[in-house]
Amino acid sequence: MLRRKIRTVGDVAEWRLCAGCGACQYACPNGAVSLINIPEDGIRPKVDVELCESCGECLAICPGYSIDSSSLLHRVSNHTSLEREFGRVLEIWEAYATDPETRYRGSSGGVLSALALYCLEREDMGFVVHAGMDQDRPWLNKTYLSRNRTDILARAGSRYSPASPCDKLDAIEKSEKSCVFVGNPCDVAAVSSLYRQRPELEQKTGLLLTHFCAGTPSTQGTLDLLNSMMICPEEIGSLRYRGEGWPGEFRVCLKDCNEHKSISYRDTWEELYKYVPLRCRLCCDGFGRFSDISCGDAWQDFGEDGDTGRSLVLVRTERGRDIIRSAVDAGYVKVELISGKDVLNAQDNLLMKRRHLFGRLLAMKLLQIPTPRFAGFDLFQAWLALPLMEKMYSVSGTLKRIVQRHLWRRQKYRLTIP
């Protein structure tokens, strides 16, 4: 069904399978793909049918259409049963940035920011490609090229709204130096797939970093949250989703005054998660298997004791291991060895999401709805680990939502930009 119904990334978007990474625009050789931010859904491709030559290069790298983990098997020769859940690793650490300001500004200890800064200052990399707050419209994101400490700290912290850092991949390819790329797991998977088409991109990418991800809420989620706080977007001077403490708060600073309004992290995520699109709920890779290093909150050690943040760090490649060990030696991060069980204890929501995925995909196939193709993720084995009633619910609950939300229909987008 997938091959018969989906021919371009435009079809991927209309079946609500787009991951919003933006890599299709970079991969398209004819300039037929442009990106738009649809408030209710996220960043989506718009295909100019007159320019599109149906070459298939956009689909070949689209993580919404297909993800194949077989290319990762060479990284680690042996793996444990636990690693089937979060991907093969060389090392697992709990870590935090040693610099107090970096640790404070980051979402969970500032490890990604510290590693990016290390690469700029000690590895002589050119810049870091990552998302940050749009200064003109703080409720939106923008892709930046950060070149120094000031840039990195200004853009530290999670952004729970659509971003497409792949829209700056051409800058990496043209760079004279190696560069760092930081994105969601789907963004990193797209970059990894692009290496087959763009060997120059692979040569110039010095490090692939990602964070654990439970989904990216649409822009509408942020707008509705602001409305519940009685804040007009035009009044906003800056907006942070978390950070400045662990886990931090959703904090809005208003223009031309010192006033700010905030909501707790727990209440913020509980509201924003309602706006996570379908494709995020079908994600097979919340732990970032395609990165060199992936990080996420070390919730197993979280307590109301003023700790300014700790991250789980999954080191997946030799390149990643060299970087983090050098960063430790240079005093950028502090690490402590932990086990795979700690990862699953800390991120049980991602574990359960993965274990339900086979049932969700099965429900979609029963209704003849196109689904993403996931190769090498052991989804059936993960589903078998669920109790019988949970297995049944993963299918029946999805069938109910598909019917109630009309997900069995293609969706024609209203092409507006907020």
User: Residue 230 — pLDDT band, cuts 50, 70, 90?
Assistant: very high
Reported confidence tier of residue 417, pLDDT bands at 50, 70, 90 = very low
Of 375, 282, 295, 321, which is closest to residue 86 (Cα–Cα)?
295
Mean pLDDT estimate for the chain: 93
Give residue-wise pLDDT tens across range 132-173.
999 999 999 999 999 999 999 999 999 999 999 999 999 999
Residue 212's contacts (CB-CB under 8 Å, 6 or more residues apart) are 185, 286, 287, 288, 294, 295, 296, 297, 312, 347, 350
What length is written for the chain?
A: 418
Integer Cα distance of 13 and 164 in angstroms: 15
* Exposure string for 273-305, b = 16+ CB within 10 A, e = fewer: bebbbbbbbbbbbbbbbbbbbbbbbbbbbeeee
C-alpha triplet 85, 185, 212: angle, nearest 5°? 60
pLDDT surpasses 60 at 268: yes
- Residues 111-116, mean pLDDT to the nearest whole number: 98
Q: What residues does 42 pair with on adjacent strands?
A: 38
Instruction: Tell me the mean pLDDT in the region 52-60.
Output: 89
Is the pLDDT at 178 greater than 70, yes or no? yes
The whole-angstrom separation of Cα 213 and Cα 188 is 12
User: What distances in angstroms separate CA 286 from CA 187, 317, 321, one per listed residue?
Assistant: 12, 18, 21
What is the per-residue pLDDT across 292-328, written as a single tens digit (0 to 9) for each?
A: 999 999 999 898 778 899 999 999 999 999 999 999 9
Which of 138-152, 269-283, 402-416 is the least confident region? Answer: 402-416
Average pLDDT over every residue of 19-40? 93
Mean pLDDT, rounded, for 229-256: 93
Question: What pLDDT does 76 receive?
Answer: 57
- Is the pLDDT reported for residue 218 higher than 70? yes
Rounded (5°) CA angle 220-152-205 = 95
- End-to-end, the C-alpha distance of the chain in Å comes to 34
pLDDT of residue 382: 95
- Rg (C-alpha) for the chain, rounded Å, is 20
Residues 118/96, Cβ–Cβ less than 8 Å: no
Torsion of CA 231, 235, 240, 245, to 10 degrees: -80
* pLDDT, mean of residues 228-246: 94
Predicted pLDDT at 142:
96
> Please, are residues 361 and 278 in contact by the beta-carbon 8 Å criterion?
no
pLDDT at 78: 56
Place 73 in a pLDDT band, splitting at 50, 70 and 90: low
Q: Please compute the mean of the pLDDT values over residues 191-199 and round it to a whole number.
A: 93
231 pLDDT above the threshold of 60? yes
